[in-house]
Amino acid sequence: MERTPTAAAVTALLAATALGLAPHQAQAAPAHATANAATAAPTTRTAVQTAAADLRFHDIPGSGGITLKGNVFTPDGAATGRKYPLIVLPTSWGMPQIEYIAQAKKLADSGYVVVSYTSRGFWLSGGQIEVAGPPDVADVSAVIDWALANTPADADRIGLGGVSYGAGITLLASAHDPRVKAVVAMSGWADLIESIYSGRTQHRQAAGLLGAAGYLTGRPGPELQSVLGDFLGSRLDREAQMIEWGRRRSAAEQVDRINANGAAIMLGNAWGDTVFPPNQYAKFYERLTGPKRLEFRPGDHATAEGTGLLGLPNDTWTNAHRWFDRHLKGERNGIDTEAPVQIKSRGDGGYEGYPDWASVGSGGTEKLPLTDSEHLFANVDSGANGGVVILSSVLDQFFKAPPVASIPLLPRSFAAVWQSGRHDEARHIRGTVRLHTTVTPTKGDGTFVAYLYDVGPLGIGKLVSNAPYTFHGRTPGQAFGVDLELFSTAYDVPAGHRLALVVDTVDPLYIEHNPTGAQLTFSSPAGDPSYVSVPLRER
């Protein structure tokens, strides 16, 4: 029976109007939308007729008997009996079903059936938040089944796409549903542990932000509530269980199945993503064996593709459309003949293409020796930090204003500092900066954060990259070696500037594990010298 439009449908209608989709009275579903009794969702709630595509709001059956709130765009005047490639778009964390409405319309205008739905546990969709667990993966297949039964979707041409949470779900779904032929995963994760627990350090602000948004917009399941409490509460006795929970939700753990299914995978992310840093995407990309593409741009979490969600011109979404056109429609648009790794530096330069990730820093490495021994006291923020989740990298993206620190004024009791000489020529940093050092703690547990700065003539350092490192169960007074990858980036250091490595023990982005009174000594033994290795672009 026909239901009364819900708040979600009304909101969607308002959004549709704002995007230029003229409202039209609800009408009977066309023949291709008539549901099979065994698989049908409740009758269409609301329809919006546009000049070029038909938008309808549906209750879609998910896995385990729950209902997912979704919408469907079909090409204008879809011919009876004709099949169109299908794209399924699960929503991001905390976002309702209208998230992709602008891009879904564009895709439908170019000949796709597009189904978007609110991920389970959020807003009006049923179930609880499972964090890309098996029920979420099964939902994708259930939505595909429903679309094949209720829309003119082609079973041989199925693609998945999504931003953030939707990206993580689609990558996992491509490992489990061989019908999927193409995936576009933007600002997502392939390795959940490497994303929010890199360097064995909890990413406090990222996890806190996701947790708060989950409680505000959805219904976290008991497993998520337990894991989030253990994680933010530093329950080390539960560390193994937390890591296993994250691995089950990481496409990197299922890359063999993804490769066996053979879907064409496009990955896109931002250099400054403070929720899902870029390193884990690059490592995952290198392990893919099918058609693949990797794009990195300036910005923070979901900001590289954010303007596209508003229907504005956006490079990420433009290439996403091209990727689907090539691998679902067979169009020879050149995207598969371009260099598969495309990056844009945080400066004002254009795109740079590379044959693979390893070639990004093909100009060799420059080593900054860390010859002086440095001793620091823990538990005090020196003033060097990675900024604020989301905000800081957005400022860098749009205003070239990354977090800064006055290097000469950093208190040397709480910050270890090493600087290079002034560079006569510009340095084009590309890829992953690596730190090798020797640490001697006074306590068995501890945390430090390494920062690489671009230091100008006045001593003001602009943050190039950073990464945390935590250790547990070490012998006090006994030195041990550390190899730490900083978050990958593309940054241009002007001529006349220096590079500086700064290490301290407190950063608001991360949870630190320094006991009261802890001290750390960073040294450079003759037989194992300490250094920072900086990858450079080929001249």
What's the confidence (pLDDT) of residue 424?
95
d(CA 508, CA 447): 13
Q: Reply yes or no on whether the pLDDT at 32 is more than 80.
A: no
Per the CB < 8 A criterion, the answer to whether 393 and 277 are in contact is no
**Which residues, 6+ apart, have CB-to-CB distance to 441 below 8 Å?**
471, 474, 476, 477, 518, 519, 520, 521
What's the confidence (pLDDT) of residue 3?
34
Q: CA 52, 57, 58: angle at the middle one, nearest 5?
A: 135
Closest CA to 507 of 380, 374, 413, 376: 380
d(CA 510, CA 108): 42
Report, as an integer, the average pLDDT of 249-277: 98
148-158 pLDDT, tens digit each: 999 999 999 99
375-433 pLDDT, tens digit each: 999 999 999 999 999 999 999 999 999 999 999 999 999 999 999 999 999 999 999 99
What's the confidence (pLDDT) of residue 52?
58
290-300 pLDDT, tens digit each: 999 999 999 99
Per the CB < 8 A criterion, the answer to whether 316 and 304 are in contact is yes
For the beta carbon of residue 327, count every other beta carbon within 10 angstroms. Answer: 24
89-111 pLDDT, tens digit each: 999 999 999 999 999 999 999 99
User: Distance of CA 534 to CAs 132, 254, 285, 360, 504, Å?
Assistant: 35, 31, 21, 12, 20
pLDDT band at 212 (very low <50, low <70, confident <90, very high): very high
Report, as an integer, the average pLDDT of 357-377: 95
What's the confidence (pLDDT) of residue 35?
33
Long-range Cβ contact pairs of 304-310 (< 8 A, separation 24 or more)? 304/186, 304/187, 304/268, 304/269, 304/270, 304/397, 305/163, 305/186, 305/187, 305/268, 308/102, 308/103, 309/99, 309/100, 309/102, 309/103, 309/163, 310/102
What's the confidence (pLDDT) of residue 119?
98
466-512 pLDDT, tens digit each: 999 999 999 999 999 999 999 999 999 999 999 999 999 999 999 99
Rg (CA), the chain: 25
What's the confidence (pLDDT) of residue 494?
97
**Which residues, 6+ apart, have CB-to-CB distance to 493 below 8 Å?**
423, 426, 427, 428, 429, 454, 464, 499
Per the CB < 8 A criterion, the answer to whether 3 and 64 are in contact is no
DSSP string, 193-204: HHHHSGGG---H
d(CA 402, CA 383): 14
Amino acid in the structure at residue 426: A
Per the CB < 8 A criterion, the answer to whether 430 and 343 are in contact is yes
Phi/psi region, residue 166 (left: phi>0; alpha: psi -120 to 50; beta: rest), is alpha
Closest CA to 396 of 524, 490, 260: 490
What's the confidence (pLDDT) of residue 348?
84
Q: What is the mean pLDDT of the chain?
A: 91
Phi/psi region, residue 246 (left: phi>0; alpha: psi -120 to 50; beta: rest), is alpha
Using the structure block, give the residue that is written with the tokens 């604020």. 388
User: What are 247's strand-pairing partners?
Assistant: none
pLDDT band at 53 (very low <50, low <70, confident <90, very high): confident
Per the CB < 8 A criterion, the answer to whether 106 and 139 are in contact is no
What's the confidence (pLDDT) of residue 27?
31
pLDDT band at 78 (very low <50, low <70, confident <90, very high): confident
What's the confidence (pLDDT) of residue 539?
77
Q: Reply yes or no on whether the pLDDT at 338 is more than 70.
A: yes
What's the confidence (pLDDT) of residue 79?
82
d(CA 72, CA 471): 49
Q: Reply yes or no on whether the pLDDT at 461 is more than 70.
A: yes
8-31 pLDDT, tens digit each: 333 333 333 333 333 332 333 333
